[in-house]
Amino acid sequence: MDSRRVFIRQSILSAGAFSASSLFDLNHGSFFDHISNDFKTPSDFTENEDYWSYISQSYTVNQNIINLNNGGVSPSPKIVQEAVRRYNEMTNEGPSYFMWRILDQGREPLRKNLALLAGCDPEEIAINRNATEALNTVIFGLDLKAGDEVIGTKQDYPNMIQAWKQRSLREGIKYTQLSFDFPIENDQQIVDAFEATINKNTKVLHITHIINWVGQIMPVAKLCAMAKKYDIITIVDGAHSFGLLDFKINDLGCDYFGTSLHKFLSAPIGTGMLYIKKENITKVWPLICNDNPKGDNIRKFETLGTRSFPLEQGIGEALHFHNAIGSQRKESRIRFLKNYWATKVMDMPGVRLHTSLKEEFSCSICGVSVEGKKPAELENFLFDKYKIHTVGIEWENIKCVRITPHVYTKISDLDRLVSAFEVFTKK
């Protein structure tokens, strides 16, 4: 009870997770201070199993299964879960007071911290619930008319595809989808395919930063630079890139960017972020009503009614945890884990990787299939026999099992995965 009172008092004074005495600082500060003196470069960390064992122990993942489906949603570290629990308890002591007069004050510090990681102005960041909400805000909020064309791909995320198809059905917008056979290890091939499709009616390019099915990293900056030559709007789906890849949104050159924070950032489940370049804010109608829908204040996109303030404020602890590891170290480690298992199975009989192993074209997500076997057969075998949780993919021209490690994934877990493949490929 004493620690809870201290937490609540700090929350009231300084928005909880943003105070010097955050849960992260209390639980992990001394470790990260110490370790930073021993290792200087990202490469010092990548294969240091003692360091990553500490990170792994900071999560509460079920020891009875091996979760390798972090591409869908990632677990939060213990400190994030604890923050949410405490904020929830506080909220229920007097919801209208603690929600609207206390926790709501933490959104501005949170906005600034997210902007620091994103590399943009805080006035370009709106906090919402997931990438679907963020990107649908832009998709439905842009003033487009019948005959205007939007170019995307068949490998984009289904919720975004359906949003564009809905606008097409309702308003007569032309929605054109390219199709790619991944992996592709040539950025110019992708840029050329988009550019060859552009015509005088093309108004928008919808670009997925990391293809969720197989982990292909798309050449976003190059596509945005090309689009600018034609004065075409660029919308980037960064659901699987933010909190994983070491980049800044401003460096991409896009007009709009949406992401889920509950994937690789490991924020509470049901948290997301929308970036809109400042000069474009007035051009987008809010998805949910606002008293000044054509205004230039990014907060017009946060008129969500009653939301989960505990989840929102828990993002702060996730940012502390992420920043302590460091974006570059995190990306390097997770790519190492992907390559660790993939290089061991790629030459097994009938195995095909649907993902490049080159650094510039993939990071965590990797698609794999076995000749003559359906994705569901491999997925079920891995779970039924080895308690390894993955996901079978059958979407357009992609048929594989998606395997996605995270920072808490142990080498021993991946060795078990490799052993499972050895058995499965001999069946």
- Closest Cα partner for 235 from 215, 247, 216, 218? 218
Three-state secondary structure call for residue 320: helix
For the record, the structure tokens of 13 come out as 């004074």
pLDDT at 24: 65
pLDDT at 23: 66
Q: Which helix (H) or strand (E) holds 204?
A: strand 202-208
Q: Is residue 157 within 8 Å of residue 393, measured between CB atoms?
A: no
Residue-level length of the chain: 427
pLDDT at 10 over 50: no
- 355-373: average pLDDT: 98
Residue that has been written with the tokens 């990797």 in this structure = 366
pLDDT at 102: 87
Please state which of the four CATH numbers 3.40.718.10, 3.50.50.60, 3.40.640.10, 3.10.350.10 is assigned to the domain occupying 106-319.
3.40.640.10
pLDDT at 427: 78
User: Are 106-319 and 329-424 equal in CATH topology?
Assistant: no
For the chain, the average pLDDT equals 92
Residues 206-255: pLDDT tens digits?
A: 999 999 999 999 999 999 999 999 999 999 999 999 999 999 999 999 99
> Is the CA virtual torsion 288, 289, 290, 296 positive or negative?
positive
- 107-123: average pLDDT: 95
Please state which of the four CATH numbers 3.40.1160.10, 3.40.50.300, 3.90.1150.10, 3.30.565.10 is assigned to the domain occupying 329-424.
3.90.1150.10
Q: Which residues make Cβ contacts (< 8 Å) with residue 205, sequence separation at least 6?
A: 150, 151, 152, 194, 223, 224, 227, 232, 233, 234, 235
Share of the chain above pLDDT 90, in %: 85
pLDDT at 9 over 90: no
pLDDT at 7: 44
- 252 versus 50: the higher-pLDDT residue is 252
Residue 282 amino acid letter: T
For the record, the structure tokens of 183 come out as 């992996």
Residue that has been written with the tokens 């570290």 in this structure = 77
What is the rounded CA–CA span in Å between residue 420 and residue 99? 48
pLDDT at 151 over 90: yes
pLDDT at 366: 98
pLDDT at 6: 45
pLDDT at 15: 39
Residues 403-413: pLDDT tens digits?
A: 999 999 999 99
Domain residue extents for the chain? 106-319, 329-424
SS (H, E, C) 74-135: CCCEHHHHHHHHHHHHHHCCCHHHHHHHHHHHHHHHHHHHHHHHHCCCHHHEEEECCHHHHH
